[in-house]
Amino acid sequence: MKNLKIIFSLLLLILIRFDALADLKYHPVSFMLSTDKECYYEGEKITFLITITNNDKGRTLPVLLPHTQNVGQKLFYLNAYDKANNTMLLRYTEDKLLKMMVHDTGTVKIKYLKPLEQVVVPIYLNDFENYFSYHTQNASHHSFGVPLFAGVYKVNVTYNPNGIALGDSIYTYYDDSEKDIPINRLAMPSNGQISQMIDLKIKRSADTIVTIERQKYYIKTDGHRYFYLSKNARQITTDTSCHHITDLPPDSSSIKNEYFYSHFNDLYAEYIARFDDGDIREYRKFSDWCPSFLYTERYNEFKQKTHYELQLPDKRFYSVSYNQPSGSIYQETYCSSDGTLCNVTTYIYDKQGILKRKVFSQTQPCIEVEIDGKKRSAHRGINLEEK
């Protein structure tokens, strides 16, 4: 009887696995990302190569290519993740819309790939010489919107034809794998098909003046760190003209205990502290207003997560802290979008780590004010004249 139960359990597992595999959608056309060089300097034009392959051995299959498209949704857009291996941290992503300031909208086109045929599509980052050029079309129209300072990043590219009329004629989009796909259509995730991840290494230059994302920076050092100033000044300053601080020496893209800080006026600031191996010790993305946090991850010396914060899609703010090594939640907070009311839940455990009760409270860390005709949320007690 015992052997029959074991056999039955094994058969059940096989059936479940077969059913799961049956639900996986077949994507015969793949997208591989590469670069034309192993590393680059800050502000240097970066060439990405997207190799599109029809892996089907028996069918000719269509794929969309950018062609002359100048407005609307981008067919390809880049995503840059942090180099850390203890978290999957999206640092930057492109605006998904083309804004090329031209009157001719242009078009995408269908390319039919024969079995095992490949086509290579180049796209460029930091190519601002041709950023708005009609003649180079949209290959140069790629930007993260903020400078990509020296460091090591993990980058992939998303191919997303969803919403482009020509793409809608050849693909059936799905959010879950259970959706049936017509025989005459190709399956495509509704958020697009993503390439593999590659390392992108960007070195610091020994130059004292560099241009990144059309912004000229004057670099000064105190002997330990390098300060990127948006205006030339005799002395180092850390006011709003200081956009970046790093301790990376020239010709380097990574060092132990790397320090990283950047501040983009009216957008956000970033602060990163790392372990010796490059993993994240603390990452903070924050604003000048209240609540200040936009995204936070913090780890203890054993690389166990102790704190996590983010702004939710509905603009509210969420924060949670953890007890370690148990991983149980210590405190959880939801704040309104203006930060004027936060609901706090504190979890109380016994000596065995069993939840005993929850304690609820409310805080009001922010106050809504009007500055330069705009409604802002500031920390209570802040001197607004300093803003």
Q: What are the φ/ψ torsions at residue 3 (nearest 5 degrees)?
A: -65, -35
Domain definitions of the chain by residue range: 25-201, 287-387
For the stretch 222-269, pLDDT in tens is: 999 999 999 999 899 999 999 999 999 999 999 998 999 999 988 999
pLDDT band for 16, please (50, 70, 90 cuts).
very low
Q: What are the φ/ψ torsions at residue 15 (nearest 5 degrees)?
A: -65, -40
Within 13 Å of residue 355, how many CA atoms lie on the same side as its CB? 11
For the stretch 93-119, pLDDT in tens is: 998 876 654 445 556 789 999 999 999
Measured CA to CA, the distance from residue 307 to residue 320 in angstroms comes to 6
Work out the average pLDDT over 129-134: 60
pLDDT over 50 at 11, yes or no? no
* Cα dihedral value 184, 189, 193, 194, nearest 10: -160
pTM score: 0.85
Q: How many CB atoms lie within 10 A of CB 158?
A: 20
